[in-house]
Amino acid sequence: MERRRLKIAIVGPAHPYRGGLASIMETMAREFQSRGYDVDILTFTLQYPSLLFPGKSQTVDTPAPKDLRIRRRLSTINPFSWWSVGRELRQAEPDIVLMKYWTPFMAPAFGTVARIARKSSKTKVICQIDNVEPHEHHIVDKPFNRYYLRSVDGFIYMSEQVHSELKAYTSAPAHFSPHPMFEHFGARVDRTEACQRLGLDKKVRYAMFFGLIRDYKGLDTLLDAWHKFRRDGYKLLIAGEFYASRDKYMEQIKRLGLQDDIVLHDFFVADSDVRYYFSAADCVVLPYKTATQSGVTQICYNFCTPVIVTRVGGLAEIVPDGKVGFVCDPSAEGVRNAIERIYEGDTLERFKENMFEERKRFSWQAMCDSIEELYKELIK
Protein backbone atom coordinates (compact mmCIF):
# COMPACT_ATOMS: atom_id res chain seq x y z
CA MET A 1 0.00 0.00 0.00
CA GLU A 2 1.33 3.43 -0.93
CA ARG A 3 2.45 5.54 2.04
CA ARG A 4 0.31 8.66 2.61
CA ARG A 5 2.20 11.94 2.27
CA LEU A 6 2.33 13.38 5.77
CA LYS A 7 2.67 17.03 6.63
CA ILE A 8 5.02 17.47 9.60
CA ALA A 9 5.91 20.62 11.54
CA ILE A 10 8.95 20.30 13.80
CA VAL A 11 9.15 22.78 16.68
CA GLY A 12 12.47 23.04 18.51
CA PRO A 13 16.19 23.75 18.11
CA ALA A 14 17.65 23.98 14.60
CA HIS A 15 20.12 26.15 12.70
CA PRO A 16 21.48 28.66 13.62
CA TYR A 17 21.29 27.11 17.10
CA ARG A 18 24.19 24.82 17.85
CA GLY A 19 24.59 21.49 19.58
CA GLY A 20 23.17 17.99 19.62
CA LEU A 21 19.50 18.96 19.98
CA ALA A 22 19.57 21.01 16.78
CA SER A 23 21.35 18.19 14.98
CA ILE A 24 18.67 15.72 16.10
CA MET A 25 15.79 17.82 14.81
CA GLU A 26 17.51 18.48 11.49
CA THR A 27 18.40 14.81 11.01
CA MET A 28 14.82 13.71 11.68
CA ALA A 29 13.59 16.33 9.22
CA ARG A 30 15.86 14.88 6.53
CA GLU A 31 14.71 11.34 7.26
CA PHE A 32 11.06 12.35 6.94
CA GLN A 33 11.82 14.29 3.75
CA SER A 34 13.47 11.19 2.29
CA ARG A 35 10.10 9.46 2.72
CA GLY A 36 8.42 12.09 0.58
CA TYR A 37 6.84 14.00 3.46
CA ASP A 38 6.33 17.77 3.65
CA VAL A 39 8.49 19.04 6.54
CA ASP A 40 8.83 22.49 8.08
CA ILE A 41 11.03 23.40 11.05
CA LEU A 42 10.00 26.27 13.32
CA THR A 43 12.92 27.21 15.54
CA PHE A 44 13.72 29.97 17.97
CA THR A 45 14.25 33.68 17.57
CA LEU A 46 15.45 33.41 21.18
CA GLN A 47 16.12 30.07 22.87
CA TYR A 48 17.59 31.19 26.20
CA PRO A 49 17.94 34.75 27.54
CA SER A 50 21.61 35.52 28.08
CA LEU A 51 21.05 35.62 31.85
CA LEU A 52 20.18 31.89 31.80
CA PHE A 53 22.78 30.79 29.26
CA PRO A 54 26.19 30.00 30.81
CA GLY A 55 28.03 29.38 27.52
CA LYS A 56 29.72 31.80 25.17
CA SER A 57 27.34 31.57 22.21
CA GLN A 58 24.05 29.82 21.47
CA THR A 59 24.40 29.98 17.70
CA VAL A 60 26.80 29.19 14.86
CA ASP A 61 27.75 31.46 11.98
CA THR A 62 27.73 28.76 9.31
CA PRO A 63 25.25 29.01 6.41
CA ALA A 64 21.80 27.53 6.91
CA PRO A 65 21.34 24.05 5.38
CA LYS A 66 19.85 24.45 1.90
CA ASP A 67 17.95 21.16 2.00
CA LEU A 68 15.72 22.14 4.95
CA ARG A 69 12.97 24.71 5.44
CA ILE A 70 13.86 26.40 8.73
CA ARG A 71 12.09 29.50 10.00
CA ARG A 72 12.90 31.40 13.19
CA ARG A 73 9.54 32.06 14.81
CA LEU A 74 9.48 31.30 18.54
CA SER A 75 10.84 33.25 21.51
CA THR A 76 10.76 31.41 24.83
CA ILE A 77 10.19 34.69 26.71
CA ASN A 78 7.64 36.34 24.39
CA PRO A 79 4.08 34.98 24.85
CA PHE A 80 2.92 36.79 21.73
CA SER A 81 5.23 34.55 19.69
CA TRP A 82 3.77 31.46 21.41
CA TRP A 83 0.25 32.42 20.39
CA SER A 84 1.41 33.40 16.90
CA VAL A 85 3.16 30.08 16.26
CA GLY A 86 0.22 28.17 17.74
CA ARG A 87 -2.26 29.96 15.45
CA GLU A 88 0.00 29.42 12.45
CA LEU A 89 0.07 25.69 13.13
CA ARG A 90 -3.68 25.52 13.75
CA GLN A 91 -4.31 27.15 10.38
CA ALA A 92 -1.70 25.03 8.56
CA GLU A 93 -3.14 21.81 10.06
CA PRO A 94 -0.07 19.58 9.85
CA ASP A 95 -0.66 15.92 10.55
CA ILE A 96 2.09 15.93 13.17
CA VAL A 97 3.57 18.68 15.31
CA LEU A 98 6.83 17.11 16.50
CA MET A 99 8.47 18.72 19.52
CA LYS A 100 11.67 18.05 21.45
CA TYR A 101 11.44 18.48 25.25
CA TRP A 102 14.49 18.50 27.50
CA THR A 103 13.91 21.16 30.17
CA PRO A 104 10.88 22.64 31.99
CA PHE A 105 12.06 26.09 30.91
CA MET A 106 10.54 25.31 27.50
CA ALA A 107 7.16 24.33 28.98
CA PRO A 108 5.30 27.67 28.89
CA ALA A 109 6.16 28.29 25.23
CA PHE A 110 5.79 24.70 24.03
CA GLY A 111 2.65 24.06 26.09
CA THR A 112 0.90 27.12 24.68
CA VAL A 113 1.89 26.27 21.10
CA ALA A 114 0.72 22.68 21.53
CA ARG A 115 -2.62 23.63 23.05
CA ILE A 116 -3.47 26.01 20.24
CA ALA A 117 -2.21 23.68 17.48
CA ARG A 118 -4.35 20.82 18.84
CA LYS A 119 -7.52 22.82 18.29
CA SER A 120 -7.30 21.48 14.75
CA SER A 121 -8.84 18.02 14.84
CA LYS A 122 -6.41 16.94 12.12
CA THR A 123 -3.22 17.66 14.13
CA LYS A 124 -1.54 15.38 16.66
CA VAL A 125 1.23 16.70 18.90
CA ILE A 126 4.05 14.20 19.43
CA CYS A 127 6.97 14.84 21.76
CA GLN A 128 10.38 13.21 21.58
CA ILE A 129 11.30 13.57 25.24
CA ASP A 130 14.84 13.59 26.62
CA ASN A 131 14.12 14.38 30.27
CA VAL A 132 11.12 14.81 32.52
CA GLU A 133 12.78 15.81 35.78
CA PRO A 134 15.73 18.10 35.08
CA HIS A 135 19.28 17.52 36.32
CA GLU A 136 19.24 20.83 38.22
CA HIS A 137 15.96 21.30 40.09
CA HIS A 138 13.84 24.45 40.51
CA ILE A 139 10.57 25.13 42.29
CA VAL A 140 8.69 25.65 39.00
CA ASP A 141 9.71 22.31 37.46
CA LYS A 142 6.62 20.28 38.35
CA PRO A 143 3.95 22.87 37.45
CA PHE A 144 5.78 23.66 34.21
CA ASN A 145 6.03 19.94 33.38
CA ARG A 146 2.31 19.47 34.06
CA TYR A 147 1.44 22.37 31.77
CA TYR A 148 3.41 21.04 28.82
CA LEU A 149 3.20 17.27 29.22
CA ARG A 150 -0.60 17.35 29.48
CA SER A 151 -0.81 19.22 26.19
CA VAL A 152 0.79 16.37 24.20
CA ASP A 153 -1.03 13.53 22.40
CA GLY A 154 1.82 11.01 22.51
CA PHE A 155 5.48 10.57 23.42
CA ILE A 156 8.65 8.92 22.18
CA TYR A 157 10.93 8.19 25.14
CA MET A 158 14.52 6.95 25.02
CA SER A 159 15.04 5.40 28.46
CA GLU A 160 12.87 3.56 30.97
CA GLN A 161 13.66 6.11 33.66
CA VAL A 162 12.08 8.85 31.53
CA HIS A 163 9.05 6.63 30.90
CA SER A 164 8.63 6.04 34.62
CA GLU A 165 8.82 9.76 35.39
CA LEU A 166 6.47 10.58 32.53
CA LYS A 167 3.71 8.34 33.92
CA ALA A 168 3.48 10.60 36.99
CA TYR A 169 2.20 13.41 34.74
CA THR A 170 0.20 11.84 31.91
CA SER A 171 -1.33 8.61 30.66
CA ALA A 172 -0.88 9.58 27.01
CA PRO A 173 0.48 6.81 24.74
CA ALA A 174 4.27 6.49 24.84
CA HIS A 175 6.56 4.39 22.64
CA PHE A 176 10.21 3.49 23.29
CA SER A 177 12.88 4.15 20.67
CA PRO A 178 16.59 4.34 21.59
CA HIS A 179 18.59 7.47 20.88
CA PRO A 180 19.98 7.16 17.33
CA MET A 181 23.63 7.63 16.43
CA PHE A 182 24.96 11.03 15.41
CA GLU A 183 26.04 10.08 11.90
CA HIS A 184 26.47 13.63 10.60
CA PHE A 185 29.89 13.92 12.27
CA GLY A 186 31.35 11.70 9.57
CA ALA A 187 33.62 8.67 9.78
CA ARG A 188 36.59 7.85 11.98
CA VAL A 189 39.97 9.11 10.73
CA ASP A 190 43.50 7.77 11.23
CA ARG A 191 44.64 8.38 14.81
CA THR A 192 47.91 10.02 13.73
CA GLU A 193 45.96 12.50 11.60
CA ALA A 194 43.55 13.16 14.48
CA CYS A 195 46.35 13.82 16.95
CA GLN A 196 48.12 16.16 14.54
CA ARG A 197 44.89 18.08 13.95
CA LEU A 198 44.32 18.55 17.69
CA GLY A 199 47.93 19.18 18.68
CA LEU A 200 48.13 15.96 20.70
CA ASP A 201 51.10 13.63 21.17
CA LYS A 202 50.30 10.42 19.28
CA LYS A 203 52.58 8.47 21.66
CA VAL A 204 50.25 9.24 24.59
CA ARG A 205 47.11 7.21 25.40
CA TYR A 206 44.06 9.45 25.91
CA ALA A 207 40.86 8.80 27.83
CA MET A 208 38.35 11.57 27.11
CA PHE A 209 35.61 13.48 28.88
CA PHE A 210 33.53 15.07 26.12
CA GLY A 211 30.66 17.55 26.15
CA LEU A 212 29.40 20.63 27.93
CA ILE A 213 30.77 20.69 31.47
CA ARG A 214 27.99 20.83 34.05
CA ASP A 215 28.20 19.73 37.67
CA TYR A 216 25.85 16.76 37.30
CA LYS A 217 28.19 15.22 34.72
CA GLY A 218 30.70 14.35 37.43
CA LEU A 219 33.97 15.78 36.10
CA ASP A 220 35.09 16.20 39.72
CA THR A 221 34.59 12.45 40.23
CA LEU A 222 36.65 11.72 37.12
CA LEU A 223 39.48 13.98 38.28
CA ASP A 224 39.60 12.14 41.60
CA ALA A 225 39.57 8.83 39.71
CA TRP A 226 42.36 9.95 37.39
CA HIS A 227 44.45 10.97 40.39
CA LYS A 228 44.18 7.36 41.61
CA PHE A 229 44.80 5.91 38.13
CA ARG A 230 47.57 8.22 36.87
CA ARG A 231 50.49 6.56 35.11
CA ASP A 232 53.18 7.51 32.60
CA GLY A 233 52.08 7.74 28.98
CA TYR A 234 48.37 8.26 29.81
CA LYS A 235 46.48 11.55 29.90
CA LEU A 236 42.92 12.71 30.42
CA LEU A 237 41.59 14.82 27.55
CA ILE A 238 38.77 17.16 28.61
CA ALA A 239 36.94 18.58 25.58
CA GLY A 240 34.00 20.87 26.16
CA GLU A 241 32.84 24.31 27.20
CA PHE A 242 32.31 25.07 30.87
CA TYR A 243 28.66 25.56 31.83
CA ALA A 244 29.68 25.41 35.50
CA SER A 245 32.31 27.30 37.47
CA ARG A 246 35.65 26.79 35.75
CA ASP A 247 37.61 27.92 38.79
CA LYS A 248 36.62 25.09 41.09
CA TYR A 249 37.74 22.46 38.58
CA MET A 250 41.03 24.28 38.00
CA GLU A 251 41.54 24.38 41.76
CA GLN A 252 40.85 20.63 42.00
CA ILE A 253 43.34 19.88 39.21
CA LYS A 254 45.97 21.95 41.02
CA ARG A 255 45.19 20.41 44.42
CA LEU A 256 45.54 16.89 43.00
CA GLY A 257 48.73 17.79 41.14
CA LEU A 258 47.23 16.82 37.76
CA GLN A 259 48.45 19.79 35.73
CA ASP A 260 50.71 17.56 33.59
CA ASP A 261 48.14 14.75 33.34
CA ILE A 262 45.30 16.80 31.84
CA VAL A 263 44.85 18.19 28.33
CA LEU A 264 42.13 20.84 28.52
CA HIS A 265 40.24 21.98 25.41
CA ASP A 266 37.62 24.07 27.22
CA PHE A 267 35.62 25.37 24.28
CA PHE A 268 32.64 24.28 22.25
CA VAL A 269 33.83 21.66 19.77
CA ALA A 270 32.60 22.39 16.25
CA ASP A 271 30.79 19.59 14.42
CA SER A 272 33.60 19.44 11.87
CA ASP A 273 36.15 18.65 14.60
CA VAL A 274 34.22 16.02 16.56
CA ARG A 275 35.59 13.13 14.50
CA TYR A 276 39.17 14.07 15.38
CA TYR A 277 38.49 13.89 19.11
CA PHE A 278 36.77 10.51 18.93
CA SER A 279 39.50 9.16 16.65
CA ALA A 280 42.32 10.33 18.93
CA ALA A 281 40.78 9.02 22.16
CA ASP A 282 41.13 5.39 23.25
CA CYS A 283 37.90 5.61 25.20
CA VAL A 284 35.33 8.07 26.53
CA VAL A 285 34.40 8.35 30.21
CA LEU A 286 30.96 9.64 31.27
CA PRO A 287 31.08 9.79 35.10
CA TYR A 288 27.58 11.26 35.42
CA LYS A 289 25.96 11.68 38.84
CA THR A 290 22.47 11.81 37.30
CA ALA A 291 21.29 11.06 33.77
CA THR A 292 18.45 9.74 31.67
CA GLN A 293 20.54 9.08 28.59
CA SER A 294 23.43 10.85 26.89
CA GLY A 295 23.93 11.87 23.30
CA VAL A 296 27.67 11.37 23.82
CA THR A 297 27.20 7.59 23.98
CA GLN A 298 25.66 7.74 20.52
CA ILE A 299 28.66 9.65 19.19
CA CYS A 300 30.82 6.89 20.66
CA TYR A 301 28.82 4.30 18.71
CA ASN A 302 29.22 6.29 15.50
CA PHE A 303 33.02 6.19 15.84
CA CYS A 304 33.22 2.80 17.61
CA THR A 305 35.00 4.44 20.54
CA PRO A 306 34.56 2.35 23.73
CA VAL A 307 32.81 4.13 26.58
CA ILE A 308 32.65 3.97 30.37
CA VAL A 309 29.37 5.10 31.97
CA THR A 310 28.12 5.23 35.52
CA ARG A 311 25.19 3.19 36.80
CA VAL A 312 22.68 6.06 36.80
CA GLY A 313 19.47 6.67 34.85
CA GLY A 314 19.24 4.96 31.50
CA LEU A 315 22.95 4.87 30.64
CA ALA A 316 23.28 1.14 31.34
CA GLU A 317 20.40 0.49 28.88
CA ILE A 318 22.53 1.93 26.08
CA VAL A 319 25.96 0.55 27.04
CA PRO A 320 25.97 -3.25 27.59
CA ASP A 321 28.44 -3.82 30.42
CA GLY A 322 31.55 -5.72 29.35
CA LYS A 323 30.59 -5.67 25.68
CA VAL A 324 31.16 -2.15 24.32
CA GLY A 325 32.36 -0.55 27.53
CA PHE A 326 31.93 -0.73 31.28
CA VAL A 327 29.15 0.34 33.62
CA CYS A 328 30.50 1.36 37.02
CA ASP A 329 29.47 2.93 40.31
CA PRO A 330 29.33 6.75 40.23
CA SER A 331 32.32 7.05 42.56
CA ALA A 332 36.00 7.84 42.09
CA GLU A 333 36.91 4.26 42.97
CA GLY A 334 34.31 2.83 40.59
CA VAL A 335 35.45 5.02 37.72
CA ARG A 336 39.14 4.32 38.43
CA ASN A 337 38.53 0.57 38.35
CA ALA A 338 36.68 0.83 35.04
CA ILE A 339 39.51 2.84 33.47
CA GLU A 340 42.06 0.26 34.63
CA ARG A 341 39.96 -2.58 33.23
CA ILE A 342 39.41 -0.96 29.84
CA TYR A 343 43.17 -0.62 29.34
CA GLU A 344 43.83 -4.29 30.14
CA GLY A 345 44.97 -6.62 27.33
CA ASP A 346 42.93 -6.43 24.13
CA THR A 347 39.79 -5.04 25.82
CA LEU A 348 39.67 -1.85 23.75
CA GLU A 349 39.96 -3.72 20.46
CA ARG A 350 37.25 -6.20 21.45
CA PHE A 351 34.91 -3.41 22.45
CA LYS A 352 35.50 -1.58 19.16
CA GLU A 353 34.57 -4.69 17.20
CA ASN A 354 31.46 -5.22 19.30
CA MET A 355 30.35 -1.62 18.84
CA PHE A 356 30.28 -2.07 15.08
CA GLU A 357 27.53 -4.68 15.50
CA GLU A 358 25.76 -3.17 18.49
CA ARG A 359 25.30 0.23 16.85
CA LYS A 360 22.97 -1.19 14.19
CA ARG A 361 20.06 -0.84 16.62
CA PHE A 362 20.50 2.94 16.83
CA SER A 363 19.17 4.23 13.49
CA TRP A 364 17.25 7.35 12.53
CA GLN A 365 15.02 5.18 10.38
CA ALA A 366 13.92 3.27 13.49
CA MET A 367 13.28 6.49 15.40
CA CYS A 368 11.13 7.95 12.64
CA ASP A 369 9.34 4.60 12.20
CA SER A 370 8.41 4.80 15.89
CA ILE A 371 7.03 8.31 15.44
CA GLU A 372 4.91 7.15 12.48
CA GLU A 373 3.64 4.11 14.40
CA LEU A 374 2.66 6.33 17.32
CA TYR A 375 0.84 8.71 14.96
CA LYS A 376 -1.13 5.82 13.44
CA GLU A 377 -2.13 4.72 16.93
CA LEU A 378 -3.30 8.24 17.78
CA ILE A 379 -5.57 8.59 14.74
CA LYS A 380 -7.31 5.23 15.08
Residue 361 pLDDT > 70, yes or no? yes
Q: Residue 161: what pLDDT? A: 87
**Cα(285)–Cα(331) distance, integer angstroms:** 13
Q: How far apart are CA 160 and CA 182, in angstroms?
A: 21
Residue 48 pLDDT class (50, 70, 90 cuts): confident
The H or E element that residue 299 is part of is helix 295-303
Sheet with 325-328, edge to edge strand ranges:
262-265, 234-239, 205-210, 283-286, 307-310, 325-328
Do 88 and 8 touch, CB atoms closer than 8 A? Answer: no
In the prediction, which pLDDT does 325 show?
97
Mean pLDDT across the stretch 290-300? 86
End-to-end CA distance of the chain: 18
pLDDT digits (tens, 9 = 90+) for 237-279: 999 999 889 999 999 999 999 999 999 999 989 889 999 999 9
Task: Enter the pTM of the model.
Answer: 0.81
Are the C-beta atoms of residues 163 and 130 closer than 8 Å to each other? no
Residues 98 and 29: their CA atoms lie apart, in Å, by: 10
Instruction: Give the pLDDT band (50/70/90) at residue 17.
Output: very high
CA distance 309 to 191: 23
Give all strands (DSSP E) within the chain, no chain letters: 7-11, 38-46, 70-75, 96-101, 124-129, 154-157, 174-176, 205-210, 234-239, 262-265, 283-286, 307-310, 325-328
Nearest to 278 by CA among 240, 319, 330: 240
State the average pLDDT over residues 286-302: 89
User: Could you tell me the domains of the chain?
Assistant: 7-180+363-378 (3.40.50.11930), 187-361 (3.40.50.2000)
Residue 52, pLDDT above cutoff 70:
no
